[in-house]
């Protein structure tokens, strides 16, 4: 696997995936849509990896689509969104391992969609999310309308979309768009440390909780309750369940496989 615009570095059981086009603030060209998909599939299949951090090299997480790129392989914007970006965004959302986005600088346009698609988010205090589409007569894409509406509600989501202003890290924290805001210097350390702590927890609990909560976004209470009951029934008596109960009784940390 040859990655030109994305890098992977393992930190124990944690994989750090980095957008790596700092000269254009990690704006997406066609190659980067391919590379991020390959990187995500690679860490998903790596049995040693139990948690993932996604960040950007240099001054930004991602400035969005690279409008100056000459490597566009798609016939039109719809094809680029459906065939270029969607597969990797879905890979993030359906990943059986938790993914933390560590947002440095700008997460703009499609870049913000990748940040919001992750399960958890840490932002540096000088970072921001930007939906500038209305400034050029377009609409948010990459699923940003869905992410924003499901997180902050319709009125605030619509305001964010149409005003096209920077949403600061502090405001993102207030709105529930991110989990933590830290200093720029400690961003990566904090994200990796958090991912490391998650990697020691039960992988089946993390995976199945993620699956059910994602499904809960467009399901009824009764449907989710039924799914919880069925899932819990399969987990009772599992190796992780037995180890967790034993560790609790013995007053020690569990050693999940």
Q: pLDDT of 55-107, one tens digit each?
A: 999 999 999 999 887 677 888 899 999 999 999 999 999 999 999 999 999 99
- In this prediction, residue 142 carries a pLDDT of 97
185 and 209: one domain?
A: no
Q: Examine residue 256 and state whether it is found in any structural domain, yes or no.
A: no
- In this prediction, residue 168 carries a pLDDT of 98
Distance CA 184, CA 61 (A): 12
166 and 50: one domain?
A: yes
φ/ψ of residue 17, rounded to 5: -105, 130
Pairing of strands 120-124, 99-103: parallel
Q: Residue holding tokens 């350390």?
A: 189
Q: Examine residue 124 and state whether it is found in any structural domain, yes or no.
A: yes
Count of domains observed in the chain: 2
- In this prediction, residue 118 carries a pLDDT of 98
195 and 208: one domain?
A: no
> Could you tell me the pLDDT band of residue 150, with boundaries at 50, 70 and 90?
very high
Question: Domain limits at 236?
Answer: 203-249
C-beta atoms surrounding 67 within 10 Å: 12
Q: Examine residue 100 and state whether it is found in any structural domain, yes or no.
A: yes
- In this prediction, residue 107 carries a pLDDT of 98
Q: Examine residue 44 and state whether it is found in any structural domain, yes or no.
A: yes
Q: Please state, rounded to an integer, the average pLDDT across all residues of the chain.
A: 96
- In this prediction, residue 74 carries a pLDDT of 81
193 and 213: one domain?
A: no
139 and 220: one domain?
A: no
Q: What is the CATH number of the domain that holds 241?
A: 1.10.12
pLDDT at 26 over 80: yes
pLDDT at 4 over 80: yes
- Residue range 153-172: average pLDDT? 97
Distance CA 103, CA 87 (A): 21
- In this prediction, residue 257 carries a pLDDT of 84
119 and 212: one domain?
A: no
pLDDT at 123 over 80: yes
38 and 134: one domain?
A: yes
Residue 63 DSSP symbol: -
195 and 216: one domain?
A: no
- In this prediction, residue 68 carries a pLDDT of 81
107 and 224: one domain?
A: no
- In this prediction, residue 2 carries a pLDDT of 86
185 and 238: one domain?
A: no
79 and 101: one domain?
A: yes
124 and 60: one domain?
A: yes
Q: Examine residue 109 and state whether it is found in any structural domain, yes or no.
A: yes
- Residue range 108-126: average pLDDT? 98
CA atoms within 13 A on the CB side of 64: 15
Distance CA 127, CA 31 (A): 25
- Residue range 227-240: average pLDDT? 97
> Could you tell me the pLDDT band of residue 254, with boundaries at 50, 70 and 90?
very high
- In this prediction, residue 7 carries a pLDDT of 98
Q: What is the CATH number of the domain that holds 21?
A: 3.90.226.10
- In this prediction, residue 73 carries a pLDDT of 80
> Could you tell me the pLDDT band of residue 1, with boundaries at 50, 70 and 90?
confident
Distance CA 192, CA 50 (A): 12
């Amino acid at each position: 696997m040859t990655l030109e615009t994305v890098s992977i570095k393992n930190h124990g059981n944690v994989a750090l995936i980095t957008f790596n086009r700092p000269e254009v603030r990690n704006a997406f060209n066609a190659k980067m849509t391919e590379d991020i998909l390959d990187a995500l599939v690679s860490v998903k299949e790596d049995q040693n990896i139990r948690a993932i951090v996604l960040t950007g090299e240099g001054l930004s997480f991602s400035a969005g689509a690279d409008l100056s790129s000459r490597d566009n392989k798609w016939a039109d914007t719809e094809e680029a969104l459906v065939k270029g970006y969607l597969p990797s965004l879905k890979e993030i959302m359906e990943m059986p391992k938790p993914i933390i986005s560590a947002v440095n600088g700008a997460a703009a346009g499609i870049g913000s969609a990748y940040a919001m698609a992750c399960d958890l988010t840490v932002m540096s205090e000088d970072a921001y999310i930007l939906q500038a589409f209305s400034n050029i007569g377009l609409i948010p894409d990459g699923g940003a309308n869905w992410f924003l509406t499901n997180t902050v509600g319709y009125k605030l989501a619509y305001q964010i979309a149409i005003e096209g202003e920077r949403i600061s890290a502090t405001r993102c924290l207030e709105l529930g768009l991110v989990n933590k805001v830290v200093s720029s210097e400690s961003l990566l350390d904090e994200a990796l440390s958090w991912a490391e702590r998650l990697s020691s927890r039960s992988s089946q609990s993390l995976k199945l909780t993620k699956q059910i909560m994602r499904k809960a976004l467009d399901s009824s209470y009764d449907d989710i309750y039924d799914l919880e009951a069925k899932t819990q029934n399969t987990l009772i008596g599992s190796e992780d369940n037995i180890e967790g109960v034993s560790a609790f009784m013995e007053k020690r940390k569990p050693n999940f496989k």
